[in-house]
Chains A and B, each alone.
Chain A
């Protein structure tokens, strides 16, 4: 075991993992985090705590992650390269680990321009692949980036994100290979709507043997309405929603129910797909619907590990 986290134990035991997502509040509202955590406890193996997602200032991901931990929910601490240099990153990793955080997701971060402080200076001292390698070095070599010994090395289960749908498509799987080479233990993908394209991507990953080296969790975000489907398809970079899916949600009598139904169908197909080791459900501001989705997709009960 690298970290002994629940997520690692589930995956290493060969179970189909299930992770969720919790977006911290735009403030120090602890109850907000506790309430969201309450919906997910016992339902997911670990919960991603987002790091100032879309570059909007929120409670820090380690801060909210500690509240999740108090609530009995295992956090997957997200860290982006946008806001901190290598000094702050290594320091935050040590602090988070000292308080019981065992999983990390290493990300580049949405550009500052999309957020609520677009006038800021982006840091990007290192990139997400280099961050993966840095956490691995801290864990396995027990050394800081500069080679100094760490007094109490953080044993972190290292995650990375991958977008199978970004361009240039034929080279995405090679970037995944670089993340694996850098030291990623698990991958959570961008939200999948185009199952055909995803099948092609996972086939490529299987073909070059990547799925034997890394656990891939397929990213799913339920569509809540026709408006959301149209908005995401048009405005969110790197997300592809096929027209027939948009039409299906738009034309449904109860779009939210249809969204959940589609999401459950996707999970059922993904469970059978070679190379997919779990689901990462990003139910944005819809945490209370996660138990129902998990139940209907037959992801419950979660295994004892």
Chain B
């Protein structure tokens, strides 16, 4: 899933300062799963804004609404009938959702309530961790199913670097060394011979460095 963190109330209030009528928009997908921008979080944030404005004696009107997805126009269009009643849309979706709402409502200011951070997994209740950077050319078959791009602090394709100590990364003693994980996994799989091969220089064009990415499936187009 896409994992996001909510921005601080202070930052959100500062963005909202010029506005009184706010449409607060949640998303039922990833940000719901990572407990950042679903219906529940929309309710919490709305209450916090109302309380703060009441304390300062400044009026505010907030409509809370959570879409099935903010990354598909068919869902975004569900707010068309009332979006015009609000000065600003405060979105709690990931960066993709926030932008797509902005694209569909061109005369409306759309603000981000969250910082989109990574593609990750749920490690345990309340704990999420990065696993993928969407580099566009997967190497997991070479590295025992552990990604060196996402899990090594230097994204080394031929690690570990000299900073690996007791299985941990030099950047943070709590952080597993990605290459220790790779070697451990290759060992478990009986594939240590793969470690002996040099992984060649990466083509970064399928990653962000080729410019913004787009995928077209002609067979699915209507």
Interface residue A167 (Cβ < 8 Å from any Cβ of B): yes
**CB-defined contacts of B170 to chain A, threshold 8 Å:** 110-111, 114, 237-238
**CB-defined contacts of B154 to chain A, threshold 8 Å:** 81-82, 108-109, 111, 122, 124, 127
Interface residue B161 (Cβ < 8 Å from any Cβ of A): yes
Interface residue A69 (Cβ < 8 Å from any Cβ of B): no
A174 touches B196 (CB 8 A): yes
- Cross-interface CB contact of A166 among B162, B195, B196, B202, cutoff 8 Å: B162
**CB-defined contacts of B204 to chain A, threshold 8 Å:** 125
Q: Measured between alpha carbons, how far is A66 from B100 in the docked complex, in Å?
A: 53
Interface residue A163 (Cβ < 8 Å from any Cβ of B): yes
B198 touches A108 (CB 8 A): no
Q: Measured between alpha carbons, how far is A79 from B200 in the docked complex, in Å?
A: 19
**CB-defined contacts of A162 to chain B, threshold 8 Å:** 162
A182 touches B198 (CB 8 A): yes
**CB-defined contacts of B28 to chain A, threshold 8 Å:** none
- For A93-110 the 0/1 string (1 means CB < 8 A from B) is 000000000000000111
**CB-defined contacts of A129 to chain B, threshold 8 Å:** 158, 198
A127 touches B156 (CB 8 A): yes
Interface residue A294 (Cβ < 8 Å from any Cβ of B): no
Assess A86 versus B201: contact at CB under 8 Å? Given A108-B156, A167-B177, A174-B195. Answer: yes
A178 touches B162 (CB 8 A): no
Q: Measured between alpha carbons, how far is A34 from B162 in the docked complex, in Å?
A: 31
A167 touches B156 (CB 8 A): no
Interface residue B163 (Cβ < 8 Å from any Cβ of A): yes
Q: Measured between alpha carbons, how far is A162 from B196 in the docked complex, in Å?
A: 16
B162 touches A190 (CB 8 A): yes
B182 to chain A, nearest CB (A): 10
Assess A167 versus B198: contact at CB under 8 Å? Given A82-B154, A127-B154. Answer: no
Q: Measured between alpha carbons, how far is A25 from B165 in the docked complex, in Å?
A: 29
Q: Measured between alpha carbons, how far is A166 from B184 in the docked complex, in Å?
A: 15
How many chain B residues touch the partner (CB < 8 A)? 28
**CB-defined contacts of A250 to chain B, threshold 8 Å:** none
**CB-defined contacts of B161 to chain A, threshold 8 Å:** 108, 128, 166
Assess A130 versus B163: contact at CB under 8 Å? Given A111-B171, A178-B196, A181-B198. Answer: no
Q: Output the nearest chain B residue to A109 by Cβ-Cβ distance.
A: B154
A286 to chain B, nearest CB (A): 22
**CB-defined contacts of B47 to chain A, threshold 8 Å:** none
- Cross-interface CB contact of B195 among A113, A134, A171, cutoff 8 Å: A171
- For B194-220 the 0/1 string (1 means CB < 8 A from A) is 011010111010000000000000000
Interface residue A298 (Cβ < 8 Å from any Cβ of B): no
Interface residue A126 (Cβ < 8 Å from any Cβ of B): yes
A166 touches B159 (CB 8 A): no
B165 touches A167 (CB 8 A): yes
B163 touches A124 (CB 8 A): no
A111 touches B157 (CB 8 A): no
Q: Measured between alpha carbons, how far is A113 from B169 in the docked complex, in Å?
A: 12
**CB-defined contacts of B184 to chain A, threshold 8 Å:** 168
**CB-defined contacts of A128 to chain B, threshold 8 Å:** 156, 158, 161
Interface residue A133 (Cβ < 8 Å from any Cβ of B): yes
Interface residue A46 (Cβ < 8 Å from any Cβ of B): no
Interface residue A177 (Cβ < 8 Å from any Cβ of B): yes
Q: Measured between alpha carbons, how far is A124 from B202 in the docked complex, in Å?
A: 11
Q: Output the nearest chain A residue to B186 by Cβ-Cβ distance.
A: A171
B21 to chain A, nearest CB (A): 36
Q: Output the nearest chain B residue to A238 by Cβ-Cβ distance.
A: B162
Q: Output the nearest chain B residue to A190 by Cβ-Cβ distance.
A: B162
**CB-defined contacts of B157 to chain A, threshold 8 Å:** 127, 130
Interface residue A161 (Cβ < 8 Å from any Cβ of B): yes
B180 touches A113 (CB 8 A): no
A198 to chain B, nearest CB (A): 14
A166 touches B163 (CB 8 A): yes
Q: Measured between alpha carbons, how far is A118 from B106 in the docked complex, in Å?
A: 37
Interface residue B153 (Cβ < 8 Å from any Cβ of A): yes
B177 to chain A, nearest CB (A): 7
A111 touches B163 (CB 8 A): yes
B37 to chain A, nearest CB (A): 26
**CB-defined contacts of B180 to chain A, threshold 8 Å:** 167-168
Assess A167 versus B164: contact at CB under 8 Å? Given A108-B156, A113-B171. Answer: yes
Interchain Cβ contacts under 8 Å between A and B, 27 examples: A108-B154, A108-B161, A110-B170, A111-B153, A111-B163, A125-B204, A126-B201, A133-B198, A134-B201, A145-B201, A161-B162, A166-B160, A167-B164, A167-B177, A167-B180, A168-B164, A168-B167, A168-B180, A174-B195, A177-B196, A178-B198, A181-B198, A182-B198, A190-B162, A237-B162, A238-B162, A238-B163
Closest 8 CB pairs of A and B: A163-B162, A237-B170, A129-B158, A237-B163, A127-B156, A238-B162, A108-B161, A130-B201
